[in-house]
Each structure stands twice: as C-alpha cells, then as structure tokens.
Structure 1
C-alpha cells in the first residue's frame, strides 16, 4: 500500500499539473484565440445560433479587452479587473486597424458583454439607413437580391429563441422566410444580409463615427441590437478601438440543438466553414 507521504506527493503533483494547465490555457486565450458561441440570430445567415468559433485576438493587437472575463457560478471576474491598467486611453499594444466588413467580437461599451457584429463604419464615416438601404458617406451601397433564407419556425438554441419571419405569423414547424440580399461595401467586401420588411431602424438620422470608434451592424438587419441604437436604450452605439477583442474568420463547429452534446442536431455542413 502507498504511504501517506506518497499519497500526499501524488495529490500535490496533480494540483500543480492542473494549476499550470490553467495558466497555459489562460495565456493562450488571452494572446491568441478566444472561443465564442453564437447565442442569438443577429448575424444570420452568416452565423447561426449554435455556431462555435475561435476569435483571432492577434488580428488587431491587444488591449484590456483581450483579457478573458471569468463568470462561473459565484465567480465574476471582469477583463477590466485583470487588465484594467491597459484601459482608458483607447490604444492597443501591437495594434492594427480593422477593415470594413470584418466580423468582429467586441466588448459592449457599457456593460462589458461580448457582442459579434460586422464592421460597417470607420472613424469619420457618415452612416445612415434610408428605406432599408445602407448609405455610407452619402452614397447608397450596392445591393442585389439573393433569394430567400428559409428556416423552421421553432425554438432555437439554449435560449429557445423563435425567429422573426417576413411571411407573417406562422405555426411551429412551418417555413419562416426572410428575404436575402447581397451587399457590396466600399472597398469591395461582399456579404449577405436578411430583411423581413419595413422596420423602425430602416430609416435613421446620420451617424458620424467619432475618431477612435467604429460602427457595427448585424447581418440580420431587422433583428439586431447594434450601433443604430444608442447605449441609453440598450443599444451598442459607437464602439471604442480598445473594446475590440478579435476577428472571426471561420466556424469550427455548429449545433442546432439546445446542447452541443445532442449529436443528432449537429450541422455537419458548417464545420470549418469560412466566413465572408
């Protein structure tokens, strides 16, 4: 039988192994890639509820937002608690500028929640929606019809969110339809966006993006809380440069069910799919 000393030594070795594994994982997540699970449909059909991806933190350099937030049970440690010494001057270490059209994970400027949206407006840009058409610096972007996006009207993901449809109120299990368009942004980035019909945010005032800030929108235009809505009413508003976390390039895994363990709900056709 093992002696008490041997048992104690074995436990201590296990504790040290777990400790260093957590340190290495924390460094990897802080410097290189952060896992992100898509919880809502604001980026359909580019990103679906249940898509899992890794965010490239090296794309734009590092700020306080690069540090992970830890929220587990009663533990609530914010990124600013760990790396607050980097916060406040809206700069980044080894920073590089994002490009219009990038899909970016960023920290909400007020509550610190992680969001994922598409970068639409750069510093100094004038952004406006007119009749559902995006205008940048006074010019409408080029759009063309791209068919319909059809999904089942049913609760989706762990939050059991029901989609909104352009074909009105439909029953559970019926086809929920949205119109799909392809949009070409200045600089040449082409991407799909969805439309369900006239909405309040289809016509806005002109948003002039401040220096050091960015303007984001979801591809599911009529179902996205983004920079079109001010922070005072729960929107995103303009996002500071230091709040960018990283760029999303590829879906790694996707599950249409309430849990990634429900293998029968896996979307095999989305594994390792590149994002546009």
Structure 2
C-alpha cells in the first residue's frame, strides 16, 4: 500500500510540474514573441471587426516594460498589470532591439493613463503636425486623399461579449436592419491605403493642429466617428500622444473571427476571415 500511495503522490507531483512548465513556456512565448488579442469594439472597422482574434507580433518593435503581459480577470479578482512585473523598465521611453513603426501600421499599445491595451492605426510620426478638417486628415499640412468607395454594411444587432450595437449613418435602425456607413479609401504619405468609415458630421471631424512630440505617435481608428483615439487627450476618454515604450506590437494577421458573444461559439465563426492579413 505504501508503494502504491507513493506512486500516486509522484504522479500528482509530475502533473503539477508539467502544468507549471507549460505556464512558464506560454508566459515566455507571450512576452517575447506573440500576444493574443481579441477585438472588443468597432473602432477599427472595417479593417478589424468585433470578435476578430489575432496574434500581435511583439518582435516588430523590440521590447519595453509594456511587453510584459497584464493578467486581468475581474471575475476571479485578478488584476496583475505589466508594471507590477516589469515596472523597473518604465520611465526612459526606450526599447530593447527597438524598431520604429511605419505610418499605417495597426498597433496594439498600452493606454498612457489606464494601462489598458488599445489597437489603432499609426497616423502621425514623431515631429509630425496632424489636423482633421472636414473629416479629412492633414499630415504636415497636406490632406491624405480619400476616394469614395460605397458603403460598409452590417446587421443591426448586439456585437461581441459586451453586446454593443453599431452606430449608423442611415439613421436609427431596428434590430435585424441594415446599418450603413460611408466608406472611403484613404492614402497615407508613402502610399499605404486602407478603408475609413464615416457616420456623419461631428466635433472630431475638424480639430486644431496636433504637434506630435519626439518619441511619441499619433493614433486613429479607421471607424473615424466611433473611435476614442489621439484626437482626444488621455484625460478626456481619449488616448493622446502614445510614447514609444508603450507599444506592444504590430497586428499582422487575423487568426479567426467570431460574430457571436464568445469565440468558443464555433458556429458563429466568419469563414472569410481565417488568416486574413491586416492591412
């Protein structure tokens, strides 16, 4: 009996060791190479839809304190911020093996105040002047051309785990109706293009001039009228200028996408978005 009991205890110890090793390997992989990211909101439509699941390339821009993952599980009372783990690296706005993002990259970054992970597109580089005028972005005084390209359409219904409904350009739309937004193809300096959406005239369509500080970046969502981004300072529910050290990585490719309330509902997966490149 003693030998049998000892064998059982050894099996339990080996199982625990296997789990610990697996968690350590996953932690290293997530910290150094790729971080999973689940799109919770519609600020980057149509490039990214609510329910898109992707891996962020953390090697693209090198490493900083923000490369350490935050573990936030409110249901279990877990709130471990990256600064709790790697805060000793914070404060100098530098990176190890640093690589500079390119204008037009879709980037995951830490919000300068809240520390939450955001995903937006790089519009302004260090030293740039940025202004919105009539819904068109001016970069260093030159408008980024927008070519009208029809409409982006989606069904009016609760989207994602948060159950938010989309905003529409075609007025109030009941559940099950078609929600439309004007669509245009924007071309940034350097020639990169992407789709932007417009819901209607609002205050953020025309702004003063933003002067991007050295070592910082200016981000905007592609769904321009439904994005809290660098057009609003971080103290008023926006993002403001984002320091280099707050960048986490570049979004390169969608792995899969779920139109339902959970990524586990495989019957709601969008077949046309498997391994779709992020442009």
Q: Which residue of 2 aligns with 1:13?
A: 14
Deviation at 1:84, TM superposition (A): 1.0
C-alpha displacement of 1:76: 1.5
Matching residue within 157, 163, 173 for 2:176: 173
Aligned residue number for residue 252 of structure 1: 255
SS of the aligned residue for 1:54 comes to strand
Structure-1 separation of matches of 2:28 and 2:141? 44
Describe how 1:117-156 pairs up with structure 2 within 5 A: 117-156=120-159
Q: Which residue of 1 aligns with 2:24?
A: 23
What per-residue deviation string (whole Å, max 9, x for no partner) do you get for residues 208-244 of structure 1?
Answer: 0000000000000000000000111111000000000
User: For 1:6 and 1:87, how far apart are their aligned partners in 2?
Assistant: 47
Counterparts of 1:71 and 1:267, CA distance in 2 = 27
2:81 matched to 1:91?
no
Report the number of matched residues: 276
Q: What is the CA deviation profile of residues 163-208 of structure 1, one whole-angstrom value per residue up to 9, with x for unaligned ones?
A: 0000001111111000100000001110000001111100000000
Q: 1:212 aligns with which of 212, 215, 226?
A: 215
Which 5+ residue runs of structure 2 have no aligned equivalent? none
The unaligned stretches of length 5 or more in structure 1 are: none
Of 196, 199, 219 in structure 1, the residue corresponding to residue 199 of structure 2 is 196
- For residue 3 of structure 1, give the secondary structure of its aligned residue in structure 2: helix
TM-score, structure 1 normalization: 0.99
In 2, the alpha carbon distance for the partners of 1:61 and 1:23 equals 21
- 2:164 equivalent in structure 1: 161
Q: Determine whether 1:66 maps to 2:67.
A: yes
TM-score by length of 2: 0.98
The 5 Å alignment of 1:34-53 reads 34-53=35-54
Measured in 2, the distance between the counterparts of 1:172 and 1:74 equals 35
Aligned to 2:265: 262
- 1:71 is displaced (CA, Å) by 1.7
| TM-superposed deviation, 1:261 | 2.0
Distance 2:55 2:235 in 1: 30
Inter-partner Cα distance in structure 1 for 2:257 and 2:17: 34
Report deviation, 1:74. Answer: 1.6
Q: Distance in 1 between matches of 2:80 and 2:235?
A: 25
SS state at 1:229 partner: coil
Correspondent of 1:183 among 181, 186, 192: 186
Alignment root-mean-square deviation, CA = 0.8
The one of 117, 120, 132 equivalent to 1:114 is 117
